[in-house]
Structure 1
Amino acid sequence: MLQELKSIYSKQAKHELLQTVREFHTSKQAEGQSVSSHVLKMKGYIDNSERLGKPVGQNLVVSLILVSPNKDFDSFMQNYNMHGIGKTVNELHAMLKLHEETLPKKDANPALHAIRAERVQKNQKNKPHKAAKVGHGKGKGKTGYASNNATSTPKPKTPPPPKKDNPAKDAICHQKLSQGAGTS
């Protein structure tokens, strides 16, 4: 009877281990899910595997966690791999949480932005575009709207004078020239 129970439970344990490994390998962070909750879920798979008597190596666990976050963490993963940082799961978890804090915030409802953008476009279509005002001074000059036909030619830009290597030396030479011109 004892052997029958062992065989039943060993089959169940093998099936549970297979299911745990499958979920661990295919687990990806969902959009909008915090990296902390995702890593905790991954740690749960590791703990379950150890409970079933099949511990997973530290390097494999770190590698599987590194490939599971969403595309927002691509730069983090590249940096981690370039510098060959060997960290534990807990250290990696802390690093991922810090990186998540530096990411730009995403709005939960992108459809709301589309609706707002559509309203702005409708409002801009309904409003007439005003031309630039002609008189900007405080005086009693004419204030009207510039005609659309008026073309203004921009002033040509003059390049700044070349910088002198030694302005003090140039000043001394200028003074000597002016003194020499007066003595002759």
Structure 2
Amino acid sequence: MSSELQKSYENLGAYDMNKQLKDMFQEQARTERFKVMKSILGCKQHYGGSMSDHVLKLKGYFNKLKLIGFPFTQEFSIDVYLNSLTSAYKHFTMNYYMNGLAKSIMDLHGMLKTDEESIVPPRNSS
């Protein structure tokens, strides 16, 4: 904490200091949350791209949300992961939901890596 900021709060109790600091930085956290959510919702896998790279990229975004104190459920993150996949994974996604699976991100990643090996990228029509 800078010395000026520290001096401005030296006569406050812990509760009041915490409340004022939270109010001061709440807008900044909201802006950061918006940027991260925009990145998450815009994150789409590319044909031929590495599944691991894609999953790790999304995982990084979700870690940023946790750091700024934005709660989300694992179910929500799984929905985002599955929605971000190319259409080559539509059967995987359909099977995942039809079978009522509830996996961790790490389990889902493993399943996707296994399925990735069976997916043939689209051919150029030349």
Common topology (TM > 0.5): yes
1:61 pairs, out of 65, 69, 77, with 77
Q: Supply the RMSD in Å over aligned alpha carbons.
A: 2.1
Q: The residue matched to 1:102 in structure 2 has which SS?
A: coil
2:94 corresponding residue in structure 1: 78
1:23 corresponding residue in structure 2: 39
1:94 aligns with 2:76: no
Q: Give me the whole-angstrom Cα distance separating, in 1, the residues matched to 2:117 and 2:106.
A: 17
Pick the structure with greater CA Rg.
Answer: 1
Percentage identity across paired residues of the two chains: 32
| Conserved? CA contact 1:36–1:93, under 8 Å | yes
Q: Give me the whole-angstrom Cα distance separating, in 2, the residues matched to 1:29 and 1:35.
A: 8
| Conserved? CA contact 1:28–1:68, under 8 Å | yes
1:39 corresponding residue in structure 2: 55
1:158 corresponding residue in structure 2: none
Q: Give me the whole-angstrom Cα distance separating, in 1, the residues matched to 2:72 and 2:51.
A: 21
| Conserved? CA contact 2:48–2:121, under 8 Å | no
Tell me the CA shift for residue 103 of structure 1. 1.3
2:13 corresponding residue in structure 1: none
Greater CA drift, 37-46 or 5-14: 5-14
Q: After superposition, what is the alpha-carbon deviation per residue over 1:71-100, rounded to whole angstroms, capped at 9, x for unaligned?
A: 110111111111111101111011111100
Q: Higher relative contact order at CA 8 Å, sep ≥6: structure 1 or structure 2?
A: 2
**What is the 5 A alignment of 1:144-163?**
none
| Conserved? CA contact 2:47–2:121, under 8 Å | no
Q: After superposition, what is the alpha-carbon deviation per residue over 1:9-59, rounded to whole angstroms, capped at 9, x for unaligned?
A: 332211011111122123211232222111111111110000001131011
Q: Give me the whole-angstrom Cα distance separating, in 2, the residues matched to 1:43 and 1:69.
A: 14
- Using the size of structure 2 for normalisation, the TM-score is 0.75
Any stretches of 5+ residues in structure 2 without a counterpart? 10-16
What is the count of residue pairs matched by the alignment?
A: 110
Q: Give me the whole-angstrom Cα distance separating, in 1, the residues matched to 2:47 and 2:118.
A: 17
Any stretches of 5+ residues in structure 1 without a counterpart? 115-184
| Conserved? CA contact 1:35–1:69, under 8 Å | no
- Using the size of structure 1 for normalisation, the TM-score is 0.53
